[in-house]
Homo-oligomer: A and B are copies of this chain.
Amino acid sequence: MANKPCSMTIGALAKAANIGVETIRYYQRRGLVAEPEKPYGSIRRYDEHALARLQFIRTAQWLGFSLDEIGGLLKLQDGTHCDEARALGEQKLTNVRQKITSLRRIELALDGLVKECSAQKDDVKCPLITSIYDGLEKGTSGRK
């Protein structure tokens, strides 16, 4: 479990995480990733923890969490407020489950649409579009 010191500049970190430097700085301002100490008259250095955190953020983001929510998730990390952490975790879990349910409905709907689309040959109307028009019974959602 030993690993090299692995200290990088913000540029190298950005490259490693496939994120823009400015974006990292933006996350720092938002408090999502820490700014490491800056040695007097020198430059900040980042390690693989910073990288892991950036990757976490990207993943969570892709999953549909906002940066604010991700901030909440990340607070689970310091472990100092286990109860709070658990509450947050539970909340997120509920949230995640809702998202899964919602996405599954969407999946079903899209799958049906695409299949109908492939099935129809030289019809005048595209079933995908007509179906969207006809409403396809979505969940309890308005938008987003």
Interface residues in A, total, Cβ within 8 A:
61
Verify B133–A79 contact, CB threshold 8 A. Answer: no
Q: Could you list 25 A-B pairs, sorted by A, with CB under 8 Å?
A: A53-B133, A56-B132, A56-B133, A58-B143, A59-B102, A59-B135, A60-B106, A62-B99, A62-B102, A62-B138, A62-B142, A63-B103, A64-B103, A76-B126, A76-B129, A77-B130, A79-B125, A82-B120, A82-B121, A82-B127, A83-B121, A85-B126, A86-B114, A86-B128, A93-B114
Q: Please list the residues of chain A having a beta carbon within 8 angstroms of any beta carbon in chain B.
A: 18, 52-53, 55-56, 58-64, 73, 76-77, 79, 81-83, 85-86, 89-90, 92-93, 96-97, 99-100, 102-104, 106-107, 109-111, 113-114, 117-118, 120-130, 132-133, 135-136, 138, 141-144
